[in-house]
Chains A and B, each alone.
Chain A
Amino acid sequence: MRILAIFLMTLLAACHRETREHDSPLPFGQAQLATTTTLIAGGSPPAPAEPRINHYEKSAWHVGEGQRLYTEFNCVECHAHGGGGIGPPLMDDQWIYGSSSPQIVATLIQGRPNGMPSFRRILTEKQMWQIAAYVRSIAAQAAKDVPPSRGDTLANTRPITLQPAQLLQDSSEDAGAR
């Protein structure tokens, strides 16, 4: 009986990870743009709780949709499949404008100097969160049971699920010094 209960609960947990949200608008209210730096006068304020981070990053479906959009909207052109080129790489530990999902969404909305365009008018906010969740998974930041173990594209890197999560540094100075 107990085993059955555990089994059913595992099933439920597994289902949530795969849930597809087709018909829902943004599951949460209008977003405030995230700040891109942690350097704030008088010490950093406590980070506001952002329920969307877990909502998107812990869903295999959202990460998968993010991967599709990443290719369809040609992020590959500049960032390659994470390795970078014209734009900065997304699989390393250096993040100029912040590495959290809300900060990546802010980057997508506003655009950044030296080539990153704004996607404000082109993507819906839900799509931006999906892309952010996928971009986080490129840097091995997603939960291991969420990203696919085998990519759709040719790559000479290890599958995301086998990469150890690295500590990301959010610092524009670091990136400038390199």
Chain B
Amino acid sequence: MIVVQSAIHPAGDHATITSGLFSLFLGVTGFFFLLVLLFLGWAIWRKDRGSAEDRKLRVSVAGWAALITLGLFGLTLGSYFADRSLAFVGGGQAPIKIKMTAQQWWWEVEYQSDDPSRTIITANELHLPLGRPAEIQLEADDVIHSLWIPNLAGKQDLIPGRTTDMAVLPRHLGHYRAQCAEFCGLQHAHMALDVLVETPAQFAAWRSRSLQAAPAPTTAEQKRGYAILTGQCSGCHAISGTPAFGTVGPDLTHVASRASLAAGELPNIRIWLERWIADPQGVKPGSHMPRVPLSAADIRAAAAYLETLR
């Protein structure tokens, strides 16, 4: 699947409006820039032909001022209407409610529901149904972060001790990349988010799959991995249906179904999973995941168990 991160290929209503406004600004300012260049060229070409008559000069200066006024007026109107239409995107439709918490350096994503047993907590991956508005409540745990999904909407800061929000309305299926857009420390550049826009049926299937608890380990190696995950790893990570209920790190209940590891840093395949468990500080220096003293066999066992968490 091609992963796109681009503000000029809008895939949502908000991004389309913003991108339209950008095109208007680009067109108007580009036109004036060309005009200025033309006048400059003309002035250089007729350098010592003496000054123009007073009347001619007055007319051209007045015309120039009128043109600028017209252009600025157009930009103001464009901004006003873009702002208005941003305020009314997806009006009437009931949005799905999501809460995102940014931490150094990953995203916690919580799908809220009136029924607590239908709440989903996942990490570093945002699933959105096509054509349905989503209301994302944004919070930060440590420092200021900023959520930017260029294909869907503009940036919004996540500020500790304060709740902000963001609305998106995806219009094209796809796998997009989002990024923290406010410098937040050492691994700021490696704080990405996978955004998957799915058909409503796919989204419903994902949602019901995510509500299930982790399957029990079957093979001996998986059982050994289970013991490690519910032991050393359980201080920070949670796996629903097991005694692991830490809240410091990402929820691992369905980690094997995610597209990437460590906030978009690594592709989610076995060899990278093992590398990440073995040496988090080598992969992502400064990350809050410590190097846990595990033997090579332990690491393979942990990865074998994590692979079953689909």
A7 CB, nearest partner CB in chain B, Å: 27
Bound Cα distance from A105 to B231, whole angstroms: 19
Residues of B within 8 A of A23 (CB): 281-282, 285
User: Could you say which of A37-45, A50-58, A118-126, A134-142 contacts chain B?
Assistant: A118-126
- The answer, yes or no, to whether B241 is at the interface (CB within 8 Å) is no
* Complex CA distance for A25 and B294, rounded to whole angstroms: 12
**Cα distance, A73 to B249, chains bound together (Å):** 11
Tally of A-B Cβ pairs under 8 angstroms: 31
Q: In the complex, which residues 260-303 of chain B have their Cβ closer than 8 Å to any Cβ of chain A?
A: 281-282, 285-286, 288, 290-293
Dominant SS at the A interface? loop
CA distance A168 to B142 in the complex (A): 32
A103 within 8 A of B: no
Who on chain A is nearest to B231 by CB?
A: A121
Asked if A150 lies at the interface with its beta carbon under 8 angstroms from chain B, I say: no
Quick one: CB contact mask for A51-71 with B, threshold 8 Å, 1 for yes? 000000000000000001000
B292 touching A22, Cβ below 8 Å:
no
Q: Are the CB atoms of A72 and B282 closer together than 8 Å?
A: no
Q: Which residues of B contact A25 (CB under 8 A)?
A: 291, 293
Contact: B286 with A122, CB < 8 Å? Answer: no
A127 within 8 A of B: yes
| CB of B232 within 8 Å of the partner chain | yes
**Which of A20, A68, A119, A124 is B292 in contact with, Cβ under 8 Å?**
A124
User: Does B28 interact with chain A (Cβ within 8 Å)?
Assistant: no
CB proximity to A under 8 Å, residues B100-158: 142
Chain A contact-residue range equals 10 to 19
Q: A124-B293, A126-B290 are in contact. Are A73 and B235 (CB under 8 A)?
A: yes
Say whether A73 contacts B248, CB under 8 Å: yes
User: Is B253 in contact with chain A by the CB < 8 A criterion?
Assistant: no
Q: Is the CB of A122 within 8 A of B232?
A: yes
Interface pair B232/A121, CB less than 8 Å apart:
yes
B286 touches A124 (CB 8 A): no
> What 1/0 flags go to A122-161 for Cβ under 8 Å of B?
1110110000000000000000000000000000000000
Residues on B close to A: CB < 8 A?
A: 142, 231-232, 234-236, 246, 248, 281-282, 285-286, 288, 290-293
Residues of A within 8 A of B (CB): 20, 22-23, 25, 68, 72-73, 119, 121-124, 126-127
20 additional contacts (CB under 8 A) given A122-B232, A122-B235: A20-B286, A22-B285, A22-B286, A23-B285, A25-B291, A68-B142, A72-B236, A73-B235, A73-B248, A119-B235, A121-B232, A121-B234, A121-B235, A122-B234, A122-B246, A123-B235, A124-B291, A124-B292, A124-B293, A126-B290
